[in-house]
Structure formats: structure tokens, C-alpha cells
Amino acid sequence: MKSILIKDTTREEREQIVVESIGNISGACDGCAAGLADMYQDYIDGKREIRDINMEFRARYESGIEAPQRGECGYFGGM
């Protein structure tokens, strides 16, 4: 498997990694997948590693502190 680290990928490759991981970002469920894509924008822009974004999301979700709003089909808020 190829590395997904920022230092080993181009912006285009990071966009593709996010799209392939999330699926259809146009979202068939009221745009919730597009919200997920927004969550990973720092990774796409080369600012934060994907693992750091995932760890922050998980910590907020488990603690309930400043948790993003969730709907029937997933993530609806920004971080």
C-alpha cells in the first residue's frame, strides 16, 4: 500500500484518497458526505495528517465536548 502521508502525496492524490474513502461526496443523503469531505480539507491542503484529523474527531465524539451534529446518515457540522 502506498503511503498517504502529506510528504508522500500531491494535493491531487490526497483529494483522490478522500474521495475514494468517503465515496460519492455529492451525497445521496442530503449532502452529509460533502460535510465529511469538508472535515478532511486540512489534509487535502497539506496542513494536517489524516490520522490527526481522525483522532481529533474520535476524541470529540467520545467525550461529547464540542461534538459535531450528527444526523441519520452521518456528519453534518464543521470542525
Count structural domains, the chain.
Answer: 1
Is 46 within a domain? yes
Q: Is the pLDDT of residue 15 over 80?
A: yes
**Domain-embedded: residue 24:** yes
pTM of the complete model:
0.62
Q: Is residue 79 part of a domain?
A: no
The residue with greater pLDDT, 4 or 31, is 4
- Provide the domain limits for residue 15: 6-74
d(C-alpha 16, C-alpha 42), whole Å: 14
Q: Which residue has the higher pLDDT, 13 or 1?
A: 13
Residue 64 covered by a domain = yes
d(CA 70, CA 5): 28
Q: Are 35 and 78 in contact (CB under 8 A)?
A: yes
